[in-house]
Structure 1
């Protein structure tokens, strides 16, 4: 598997994602297993559902752009999709990760995210109903996503390196300047892309 970002899985089904009928094509892939190469059909169905959910956060043209990116940029692009798909993870990123970065506190542990989740639990009945196991899992998966996207190494936050200016300009043009901020691009650099 391609980890929490589903990197390998997205790349495997990229030809399908570029088609207008990608949802139906993913259903067919669950049955035929021509691209994903995952043995158990139940696992393929679960992965396909997640791919469908995330892919629904961007338009079809995104995948044509994605195809031409370097691997590290593809990983960041998949992280972008995650932030667009899951409000809780967007909250974690802006309320914990980005705040730590701005205060030059680059050490990130699960406890930092647990503290934020506890705040959310006090305000959100749905999240309050989650089991401790579910809460721990979402935090672990988010930490893995940060590592896979290049934001975290040995519990230390870091800015993704050697990312092309054309990558950042894509998100500015798409009206998602917030993503540059999420990737630790400072205000002066962000303004240069406007």
Structure 2
């Protein structure tokens, strides 16, 4: 399986969470002449305020992918949410964009959350990498350094989303406002509430309030 038919990419190594940067660039992504404005931003660095042109180009490419992974009306609603809700929303877009992150989260983190021990280590992610690589030749061809950087990026994403403590690597749930969670119910994306480490009874309570 080569990179052209593998569902996986290591792109998160060059662009992890970047909440503030994405928030600044979102109005451009939503504009009618987004492509032209983004090209100008890569060259002129007026909004991102990132010194490296190569990094700006990488960030813009990944921001475009994340933006396109969900409907425009999601981002229109996102602009009015709390920071916790916005961080959850970026995590949702990341899960929709990168199958690698989705698999790490549902095959490792959620299983760990539902166990007695809520600590998540890089070793746990590397075990999942071995499983993925066993069935995907493209991932299997990645260097150990690339795999390590992917695992590190995923853990950073969890911390930035609010789903993991900074120092102890302890998983924790996030609780955006019910109004901010309404999109996921209305769009048939209720699975995302499980991704926020909400328990079934919490999801049912929210559903009852919104119905």
Fold shared by both chains (TM-score > 0.5): yes
CA distance in 2, matches of 1:96, 1:142: 11
Q: Secondary structure at the match of 1:115?
A: helix
| Structure 1: stretches of 5+ with no match in the other structure | none
Shift of 1:41: 2.0
| Structure 2: stretches of 5+ with no match in the other structure | 1-14
Shift of 1:42: 2.0
In the TM superposition, what whole-angstrom CA distance separates every residue of 1:104-134 from its partner, at most 9, and x where no partner exists? 3201100011111111111111100000000
Shift of 1:17: 2.2
The runs of at least 4 consecutive aligned structure 1 residues that moved more than 6 Å come to: none
Query: What TM-score do the two structures reach when normalised by structure 2?
Result: 0.85
The answer on whether the counterparts of 2:158 and 2:164 sit within 8 Å (CA) in structure 1 is: yes
Aligned-pair Cα RMSD in Å? 1.5
The answer on whether the counterparts of 1:17 and 1:63 sit within 8 Å (CA) in structure 2 is: no
In the TM superposition, what whole-angstrom CA distance separates every residue of 1:2-59 from its partner, at most 9, and x where no partner exists? x821111111112112224433432222123221122232221111111112111012
Q: Secondary structure at the match of 1:156?
A: coil
Q: Which structure exhibits the higher relative contact order, with contacts defined as CA atoms closer than 8 Å and separated by 6 or more residues?
A: 2
Question: Aligned residue for 1:187?
Answer: 200
Q: 1:31 to 1:106 in 2, by over 3 A?
A: same
The answer on whether the counterparts of 1:9 and 1:36 sit within 8 Å (CA) in structure 2 is: yes
Q: 1:160 aligns with which of 157, 171, 174?
A: 174
In the TM superposition, what whole-angstrom CA distance separates every residue of 1:45-80 from its partner, at most 9, and x where no partner exists? 111111112111012222211111111211111111
Question: Aligned residue for 1:140?
Answer: 152
